[in-house]
Amino acid sequence: MEKSESTKIDVVETNKEKKGKAPLLGTAAAPAIVAAVGHDGHAKGGAKRGIAIFDLILRIAAFASALGATVAMATTEETLPFFTQFFQFEASYDDLPTFSFFVVGMGIVVAYLVLSVPFSIVCIVRSHAVVPRLLLIIFDTVIIALATGAAGSSAAIVYLAHNGNQDANWLAICQQFGDFCQRASGAVVAAFVTVVLLILMVVISASALRRH
């Protein structure tokens, strides 16, 4: 019987052929890498833009609460319907330096929030901008300190107006000046709401910077 022999031919690629094929793999992989990087950057930009929009909403809400607190305290006054020949019983916010400081301090907060809106809009348009966010964090922190001081000091006065202090022989005046105390209490509550909103703005701005 005859045995058939198979012939095996090895084809050896030359160096030129190898060099010619190598760039094809790189060319095919490059668009995929660029596409992945571009998609990741677009996702981060969208998240930052969403955070900036939320910051603007919080900023408008803080402006509304700060304005309400300022107007409420600035118009807090009450005159009792009875009076004597020499005395008229009247209570006004400017009778107390703490309430006057509250009006001035919260007025500054209102003005700052108005001026900060353009910076917040810049963060929406240019989501990768670092300087506007950093400036907002710095000035928001300063305004938080001012608003907290105004709200905290006024809260102490409102507490004394409602409850008095027997050790110091300070009488509670809210039984006579009910409307005065209600408006002052409402202004203080609105100021604390402003403080909470400002803290949230600092937190989300810091988180946006951390994404860089």
Q: Cα 19 to chain center, whole Å?
A: 57
Please tell me the pTM assigned to this model: 0.73
Query: Are the CB atoms for 106 and 31 separated by under 8 Å?
Result: no
One digit per residue, the tens of pLDDT, for the chain of length 212 reads 444 444 444 444 555 454 444 444 444 444 444 444 444 445 555 677 888 899 999 999 999 999 999 999 999 887 766 665 556 667 788 888 999 999 999 999 999 999 999 999 998 888 778 888 899 999 999 999 999 999 999 999 999 888 888 877 777 888 887 788 899 999 999 999 999 999 999 999 888 777 65
Query: Are the CB atoms for 163 and 154 separated by under 8 Å?
Result: no
